[in-house]
Structure formats: C-alpha cells, structure tokens
Amino acid sequence: MEFKKYLTQQCAVVEQALARYMLPEEGPLSAHIKAMRYSLFAGGKRIRPILAMAAAEALHAATEPLLPVVCALECIHTYSLIHDDLPAMDNDALRRGKPTSHVVFGEAEAILAGDGLLSFAFELLSHPDVQQTISPSAQLRMINIIAKAIGPKGMVGGQSLDLAAEGQTIPFDHLRLIHGYKTGALITASVQAGAIFGMADEKQFAALSQYGVQIGLAFQIVDDLLDVEGTTEDLGKTAGADAQRNKATYPAFFGVAKTKLMALEAVEAAVTALEIFDAKAEPLRALARYIYERNN
C-alpha cells in the first residue's frame, strides 16, 4: 500500500519535471513540439526516472537536482517507443491505449519526433543545472554511460538484432543478448545515473549496476509474459504481437511457469545485490518486486 503511494508520488514528480523541462507548444516549431509532447505525455509509468531517483535515494542523495536527467531518460525511452512502433519496424498502431505517433502525425513527423526527443535528451543531460550538485566530470561520465547504453552497442543495436531475428530460430543465448541490449541497457544506465548522482563509491556503483542488470532482465521477461497473458485492453498495446510476429520470447523457450520462476529469480538477485544498503534502499527493493508483480 505504502509503495503504491510512493509510486504515485514519484510519478507525479516526474510529470511535473517533464512539464517544466519540455519545450512548450508554441512558435513556428509548435507542430514538431506537439508530436514530441504527444508521446512524452501519453501516460507512461516513468519507471526509468523513478529507478534513477530511487538509486540516488539509496545513497541518501537529494533527488530534486537529478530532474533534468530523469526527464532525459524518459525522452530517450519515448523516442525508442516511437521509432519501434513505426510501420517499417513493429508497425504498431496502439501504444498506452492511444494511437501511435505515426498514426496521428504521419511517418515523417514520427521519425522526427523521435529524433527530436533523442537530441533534446542530451540537451537535458548536459544541462548546467546538474552541475550544482555533481562535478562536471561526474556529469560527463553519466552522459557517456547513457550514450553507450542506447547506441549501437546498446538499445539501438538490440532493436536491430531483434528485427533481424524475427521469424528466425535463434538460440536462447542470442535472445538474452537481444534483451540485454534492447531493454536491459537503458534500465541499468538509469540506475547508474542515479548512482553517479548519489556519488556512489566503487563498491556501491558495482552493487547498483548489478541490481540494474537483474531488474532489466526481470523487466524483459515480464514483458514477454505480459504479451502472452495480457489483453490488448490491459496492455494498452496489441497483445499477442510477439507470437504473431513469430518472435523468440522467454515463454516460447521455457513455457509460462518456468518463465515466471526465472523472472522471480532475477528479482531476488536484484534485491540481494542491495544488501550493502540501508533502509533508504527500500524503494529500490520494492521496485524490483513491483516489476515482477505487474504481471500478477
């Protein structure tokens, strides 16, 4: 119950920050900004921002100065959804219960809305406000970690592998690789951004990274489960899309029961990684369990 309140509260913090940092829909560029805002304010769960703030909190850091960064994480996530949904990619017409960007604004503007959000994310990540809290070199390290996590050896590379694997028989190791790049990398980087903000020492950074890797894994396994078990209404996007596209998934490899167990194991490994932290890491622990439970 308490955790639900925490989630609602943190989600509101992120929404307010996005409203503050995102460009207003005015001037000659208003049509472009409108398309960016449409997807950004489409009611995401804001998991990556909340994870980043919870990681900083675990290190007893104030999370307010982290807000430009958490907005950037959400811009990056939103850009990836817009591009993934494009006709040339997954060709999804529905996301979060709303028509996808290209359905509303056309394909060209959807591509540009994604490009705009990605570029704007780095404007936020390099925001001078951030230097009031952490050193410029810590900020640069954070930018470098995030850029790596979303680039050719991260999220974008994962999407490329995912598309190439469609309709192919791939070994499980390859599926794990795809998931790690496509979903895990940005989730891990979000936690690491919070860690840098909380001025984690080497041991704390390693523990939080390990936590990030494990919840990234849990997240993708649960996503695969939701696609099998959820309805289109519950999901706000087309259910059963993976099976339709003949995509390799955890349930396809292991069946639903074993897949659930694997998700639970990842969550437990994530919580175990937090052993060195005190009660301030409670939100992080609860977030790990929440990632599993959103399926149940």
Q: In the complex with its own copies, which residue's Cβ is closer, 97 or 136? A: 136
φ/ψ bin of 268: left (φ > 0), alpha (ψ from -120 to 50), beta (otherwise): alpha
**Helix intervals (H) in the chain:** 2-21, 30-40, 47-58, 67-85, 101-105, 107-125, 136-150, 155-165, 172-179, 185-197, 202-229, 232-235, 241-244, 250-273, 282-293
Whole-number Å distance between alpha carbons of 254 and 138:
42
Q: In the complex with its own copies, which residue's Cβ is closer, 86 or 104? A: 86
Q: In the complex with its own copies, which residue's Cβ is closer, 160 or 204? A: 160
Contact set for its own copies, span 155-174 (CB under 8 A): 155-157, 159-161, 163-164, 174
Q: In the complex with its own copies, which residue's Cβ is closer, 126 or 295? A: 126
Q: How far is the CB of 178 from its own copies (least distance, A)?
A: 9
Show Cβ contacts of residue 110 under 8 Å, excluding neighbours closer than 6 positions. 35, 82, 83, 85, 86, 100, 101, 102
Give yes or no for residue 177 binding its own copies (CB under 8 A): yes
Binding residue (CB under 8 A) for its own copies from 8, 9, 16, 131: 131
The window from 124-132, 203-211, 253-261, 269-277 that contacts its own copies (CB under 8 A) reads 124-132
Give yes or no for residue 247 binding its own copies (CB under 8 A): no
Give yes or no for residue 224 binding its own copies (CB under 8 A): no
Question: DSSP string of 30-70?
Answer: HHHHHHHHHHHTS----HHHHHHHHHHHHTT--SGGGHHHH
Whole-number Å distance between alpha carbons of 27 and 80:
26
> In Å, how far are 61, 66, 70, 115 from 195, measured between CA atoms?
9, 11, 13, 27
Q: In the complex with its own copies, which residue's Cβ is closer, 121 or 213? A: 121
- Site size for its own copies (CB under 8 A): 56
Query: Binding string, 23-62, against its own copies, x = CB under 8 A?
Result: x----xx-xxx--x--------------------------
3-class SS of residue 99: strand
Q: Give the gyration radius of the chain's Cα atoms.
A: 18
Contact set for its own copies, span 89-118 (CB under 8 A): 89, 106-109, 111-112, 114-116, 118
Q: How far is the CB of 42 from its own copies (least distance, A)?
A: 17
Residue with tokens 């990030």: 212
Give yes or no for residue 241 binding its own copies (CB under 8 A): no
Residue 85: count other Cβ atoms within 10 Å of its Cβ.
Answer: 23
Query: Which positions touch its own copies (CB under 8 A)?
Result: 23, 28-29, 31-33, 36, 83, 86, 88-89, 106-109, 111-112, 114-116, 118-120, 122-123, 125-128, 131, 135-137, 139-141, 143-144, 147-148, 150-157, 159-161, 163-164, 174, 177, 181
